Amino acid sequence: MRTWRAYLTERFAANQEAAIRYLKFSLEEYQVDGDTPLLLLAFRTVVESQGGISVLAKKTGIAQESLSDILSSDEAPRIDTLSTILNALGCRLLIEPISDTDHRFKPKGKERADVNTAVEKGVEQVVEPPLS
């Protein structure tokens, strides 16, 4: 009998597309729940399936110890580091719209005017000062 992680590692070694889908799903879940350790566990699982830390270190140019520390931390990696790791794993970060609900930025506290609308209104209200 083996662990679920061992099963995933074996599966992802044979199917890189499945590994990428797993990382995508894990990142989407992280955006919902903010569980950094769980996200990094997913990364470690995929890294292990693709040859381990030593192979990733060669692909990224990041020291093995540093990679190990990054992937074992409770803190999210910097975006440039995350991007480098993802590129080495054969994928990239992507920004796409959220379609299920309205997630537009809404300031906290009292209602504020939209900057673009305020600028447009401000331009209409500009009056030339009288010449003296």
Residues lower than pLDDT 50 in the chain: 110-113, 115, 118-128
Determine, yes or no, domain membership for 48. yes
Parent domain of 70: 4-101
Q: What is the pLDDT of residue 25?
A: 95
Q: Is residue 110 part of a domain?
A: no
- Confirm whether 123 is domain-assigned: no
The answer to whether residue 82 is domain-embedded is: yes
Q: Is 59 a domain residue?
A: yes
Digit-coded pLDDT (tens) for 9-18: 999 999 999 9
The answer to whether 51 and 83 have CB atoms below 8 angstroms apart is no
Count of domains in the chain? 1
